[in-house]
Chain A
Amino acid sequence: MSVSCSNCFPDDDDSFLLCGEDSSGIIDSSPECSSDLDSPPPSEAEAESIAGFIEDERNFVPGFEYLNRFQSRSLDASAREESVAWILKVQAYYAFQPLTAYLSVNYLDRFLNSRQLPQTNGWPLQLLSVACLSLAAKMEEPLVPSLLDLQVEGAKYVFEPKTIRRMELLVLGVLDWRLRSVTPFSFLDFFACKLDSSGTFTGFLISRATQIILSNIQEASFLAYWPSCIAAASILHAANEIPNWSFVRPEHAESWCEGLRKEKVIGCYQLMQELVINNNRRKPPKVLPQLRVTSRPIMRSSVSSFSASSSFSPSSSLSCKRRKLNNSLWVDDDKGNSK
Chain B
Amino acid sequence: MEKTGVLSAKEAFEKLEKVGEGTYGKVYRAREKATGKIVALKKTRLHEDEEGVPPTTLREVSILRMLSRDPHVVRLMDVKQGQNKEGKTVLYLVFEYMDTDLKKFIRSFRQSGETIPPHIIKVILSICPSIFNIRFFFVHLFLSIWLQSLMYQLCKGVAFCHGHGILHRDLKPHNLLMDRKTMMLKIADLGLARAFTVPIKKYTHEILTLWYRAPEVLLGATHYSMAVDMWSVGCIFAELVTKQALFPGDSELQQLLHIFRLLGTPNEDVWPGVSKLMNWHEYPQWNPQSLSTAVPSLDELGLDLLSQMLKYEPSKRISAKKAMEHVYFDDLDKRHL
A3-B80, A165-B52 known; A52 vs B199 contact (CB < 8 Å): no
**B60 to A, closest residue via Cβ:** A177
Q: Is the CB of A135 within 8 A of B58?
A: yes
A199 → B minimal CB distance (Å): 11
Q: Does A86 contact B (CB under 8 A)?
A: no
Q: Is the CB of B198 within 8 A of A180?
A: no
A276 → B minimal CB distance (Å): 25
Q: Is the CB of A3 within 8 A of B199?
A: no
Q: Is the CB of B163 within 8 A of A178?
A: no
A49-B162, A179-B58 known; A56 vs B66 contact (CB < 8 Å): yes
Q: Is the CB of B55 within 8 A of A4?
A: no
Q: Is the CB of A4 within 8 A of B58?
A: no
**A193 to B, closest residue via Cβ:** B199
Interface set, chain B 168-198, CB cutoff 8 A to A: 195-198
Interface set, chain B 79-116, CB cutoff 8 A to A: 79-81, 89, 91
Give chain A's interface secondary structure class: helix
On chain A, the residues within 8 Å of B65 by CB distance are: 1, 176-178, 180
B-binding segment of A184-192, A215-223, A282-290, A303-311: A184-192
Interface set, chain A 8-66, CB cutoff 8 A to B: 34-36, 39-46, 48-53, 56
CA distance A179 to B198 in the complex (A): 19
Query: Which residues does A use to contact B, with CB under 8 Å?
Result: 1-5, 34-36, 39-46, 48-53, 56, 134-135, 138-139, 142, 144, 146-147, 161-162, 164-165, 168-169, 172-173, 176-180, 182, 185-190, 193, 339
A288 → B minimal CB distance (Å): 32
On chain B, the residues within 8 Å of A144 by CB distance are: 51, 55
Return 28 A-B CB contacts under 8 Å, by A number.
A2-B79, A4-B6, A4-B8, A4-B80, A35-B201, A40-B315, A45-B321, A46-B198, A49-B196, A52-B163, A56-B164, A135-B58, A138-B55, A138-B58, A139-B55, A146-B50, A169-B53, A169-B81, A176-B65, A178-B65, A179-B58, A180-B59, A186-B165, A187-B197, A188-B197, A189-B199, A190-B197, A193-B199
A48-B321, A172-B53, A179-B62 known; A34 vs B195 contact (CB < 8 Å): no
On chain B, the residues within 8 Å of A3 by CB distance are: 5, 79-81, 91
CA distance A331 to B222 in the complex (A): 42
Q: Does B252 contact A (CB under 8 A)?
A: no
Query: Which residues does B use to contact A, with CB under 8 Å?
Result: 1-8, 46, 50-55, 58-59, 61-63, 65-66, 78-81, 89, 91, 162-166, 195-202, 204, 223, 225-226, 315, 319, 321-322
Q: Is the CB of B197 within 8 A of A176?
A: no
On chain B, the residues within 8 Å of A161 by CB distance are: 50-52
**B82 to A, closest residue via Cβ:** A4
On chain A, the residues within 8 Å of B195 by CB distance are: 180, 186
Q: Is the CB of A180 within 8 A of B62?
A: yes
CA distance A168 to B81 in the complex (A): 13
**A4 to B, closest residue via Cβ:** B5
CA distance A5 to B91 in the complex (A): 12
On chain B, the residues within 8 Å of A39 by CB distance are: 199-200
On chain A, the residues within 8 Å of B58 by CB distance are: 135, 138-139, 172, 179
B172 → A minimal CB distance (Å): 22
Q: Is the CB of B202 within 8 A of A45?
A: no
CA distance A164 to B53 in the complex (A): 10
CA distance A46 to B320 in the complex (A): 12
A59 → B minimal CB distance (Å): 9
B55 → A minimal CB distance (Å): 4
Q: Is the CB of B79 within 8 A of A177?
A: yes
On chain B, the residues within 8 Å of A176 by CB distance are: 1, 65
